[in-house]
Amino acid sequence: MIYDTIVIGAGIAGCSVAHFLKQKNQKVLLVDKEGIASGGSGAAGAFLSPKIGVSSPLKDLTDDAFNFTIDFYEKNFPKHYHKTGVIRVPKDELDASKTSKYSKFHNAKYEELTSSQISKYGFDVKYNSTLFFDGGTCDAKEMCAELVKDIDFLCFDVKDITRKDDVWMVGEKKAKNIVLSTGFENNLFDMRYMGIKGTWGNRGDFSSQLKLDVSLHEKLSISVNMGGVIKLGATHELEVADIKPCDDSKAYELLEKASNMIDTSDFKLIKTYCGMRSGSRDFSPVVGKVIDAHRMFEYPSILDGRKYPTIYHENLYILNGLGARGFVLAPYLANELAKLIVDEKPIDKRADSDRLFWNWVRKIRYG
């Protein structure tokens, strides 16, 4: 049997790609060395909200993805998406001074709240903040599993992939196309130009009777109380290079920070989660075809600033670098990638990975 596409990596990125390819009647195989949402995606708090700031390619892309994704989740997986609303709190005084300036760039339903108004929701914060009504949270592992419940899955540690007679080989499995959604691990091809690195995230689930009907995000995220459970999460440890065991002390650090905003007196730790989220060289998502960097450097004057036609690896694609916003960005970008693979429609330029290659070449050229 030859699959249409093998997707390597079963986090929210890989699961979303597999889902949208399946919707286009492709025969899809999803492969992961540990299981569905076994890494950073499974440990995510999966908070969904727009990006705050002035208009930029990344902000506009994130906002478009947010609107697409909440509609997608609500229509298809309402059991695992919870529209709680999310209050976005400025991180410091400088950030707070910009809150009103950012409002004209919001692309979602919102309301500006004073700190006293926020206190009625059970939070003690210093600054006026923004409530996004359509924000919320996902059940991370459950959402990933639902996306791919009717798709072939293989638990397999992919060490290399080869191409022969116009067919890709992953172990003994064959496919016309490959999609790489391997997160911070990128050792199957030379993709240094993408500069993908990991940021470690921690989450603690706590039992509590505290009434919280809206989620909040500041330097950490605090979920609503769902069935006596409140999630605390943050993605910020840049110095972590390798996967490590989850540490309960990190969950208690989150609890200490949360105690400055909510009453945590009855919080009891249920479980600690942790995992690596991937980000690209320019902190924007990476989607599209994979450039054959080795062959590109055979062009004689590429380091002199001359642009050449792009050479890609045949039928090799990527969806990666989603950072801490994976559950916002993945469905939108996976749909874009599925349209590229099946319908040959151009990818959203704001996420197209080609930009990173030419930026990398310029960096090499100028040192």
Amino acid at 37: A
Rounded mean pLDDT of 242-267? 92
Rounded mean pLDDT of 2-10? 97
> 252, 204 in Cβ contact below 8 A?
yes
What pLDDT, on a 0 to 100 scale, did the predictor assign at position 38? 86
Q: State the greatest distance between any 2 C-alpha atoms of the chain, in Å, as a whole number.
A: 67
What pLDDT, on a 0 to 100 scale, did the predictor assign at position 367? 58
- Per the structure block, which two tokens stand in for 130? 């923004």
Give residue 43's pLDDT band: very low, low, confident or very high (50, 70, 90). Answer: confident
Q: Looking at the predicted structure, is the pLDDT value of residue 304 above 90?
A: no
List b or e across 312-337, with b for residues whose CB sees 16 or more CB atoms inside 10 angstroms.
ebebbbbbbbbbbbbbbbbbbbbbbb
Give residue 259's pLDDT band: very low, low, confident or very high (50, 70, 90). Answer: very high
Label residue 338 left, alpha or beta by phi (over 0 means left) and psi (-120 to 50 means alpha): alpha
Q: Looking at the predicted structure, is the pLDDT value of residue 12 above 80?
A: yes
83-124 pLDDT, tens digit per residue, is 999 999 998 888 888 887 888 888 889 999 999 999 999 999
271-303 pLDDT, tens digit per residue, is 999 988 888 888 899 999 999 999 999 998 888
Higher-confidence position of 325 and 17 = 17
Mean pLDDT for all residues in the chain = 92
Helix (H) or strand (E) holding 269: strand 268-279
Half-sphere exposure of residue 245: CA atoms within 13 angstroms, side-chain side: 3
CATH match of 2-40+142-196+281-366 with 3.50.50.60:
yes
Q: Which of 337, 343, 299 is nearest to 317 (CA)?
A: 337
Q: Where are the domains of the chain?
A: 2-40+142-196+281-366, 202-274
Q: Which of 111, 110, 47 is nearest to 82 (CA)?
A: 47
List b or e across 104-134, with b for residues whose CB sees 16 or more CB atoms inside 10 angstroms.
ebbeeebeebeeeebeebbbebebbbbbbeb
Higher-confidence position of 269 and 277 = 269
What pLDDT, on a 0 to 100 scale, did the predictor assign at position 366? 66
Q: Looking at the predicted structure, is the pLDDT value of residue 239 above 60?
A: no
Give residue 257's pLDDT band: very low, low, confident or very high (50, 70, 90). Answer: very high
120-158 pLDDT, tens digit per residue, is 999 999 999 999 999 999 999 999 999 999 999 999 999
Which pTM value belongs to this model?
Answer: 0.94
